Amino acid sequence: MSRDDLALRAPGTRALIRFPRWRLTRRTSLKRGHRATNGPWWFSSSGDGRFDLRSPRGTCYLAFDDRTAIRETVGESLTSLGVITREFAADRVISTLRVPSSHTLADTCAESAADFGLTRELATMTPYDIPHAWAAALDTDFDGIRYQTRFTTTPNANAAALFGPAGEADWPADPQPEPLTLAASRCGIAVQTLPRAVRIVEPPE
């Protein structure tokens, strides 16, 4: 194996019951970006999310701060363009949420997580086959995962992936979610209308 190869592998039959843990309580404020027409507590089993479980189980992704929620909602386009398009932001909001009861999360940011074969690649690698395998293995003993997200550079854990029955959970929602446009502006992230066409002018000879 060279340094160009991924070090992280699926956990296989490794016992994870002693994996480092972190307690998510009702005191913790959580943020989630979503379409205004959808509820915030959606547990995905589509396979499109990094830690999606297979149906009948699912995963709900939440951030610990607004900027992380915005960046994870927008994804690669914000990284490449440096702005959020008005078309994308128009029908999306940021909800402030709290879990209805405490959850025990696998803490992938703990130093001792490396003793179980885990590396930082878990939150950055694509495709998601190996992260899916870790999520499935951790679902046996934990209620979710505490981790660092792909589209941010914070040194600390900034998100949680909660495990539960696939689909929408009937948990308390934010009665007044903030429009994504306003949340982005408050966080210093530009929302712009991109030009439909670019005129190319030949340079003078």
Q: What is the residue-level pLDDT of the chain in tens, covering all 205 positions?
A: 555 567 899 999 989 999 999 999 999 999 999 999 999 999 999 999 999 999 999 999 999 999 999 999 999 888 888 899 999 999 999 999 999 999 999 999 999 999 999 999 999 999 999 999 999 999 999 999 999 999 998 889 999 999 999 999 999 999 999 999 999 999 999 999 876 655 555 666 6
pLDDT recorded at residue 138 = 98
Whether residue 103 contacts residue 190, with contact meaning beta carbons closer than 8 Å, is answered with no
Sheet with 178-179: strands ordered across: 21-24, 103-107, 144-147, 159-165, 57-63, 30-35, 92-97, 178-179
Residue 18 amino acid letter: R
Q: How far is CA 62 from the centre of its chain?
A: 6
**Could you tell me which residues come within 8 angstroms of residue 2 by beta carbon, excluding any fewer than 6 positions away?**
none
CA atoms within 13 A on the CB side of 69: 29
Whether residue 60 contacts residue 41, with contact meaning beta carbons closer than 8 Å, is answered with yes
pLDDT recorded at residue 44 = 98
Domain ranges for the chain, please list them: 21-192
Residue 194 amino acid letter: L
Read off the pLDDT of residues 39-86 as tens digits, 9 standing for 90 and up: 999 999 999 999 999 999 999 999 999 999 999 999 988 888 889 999
d(CA 64, CA 62) in angstroms, rounded, equals 7
Report pTM.
0.90
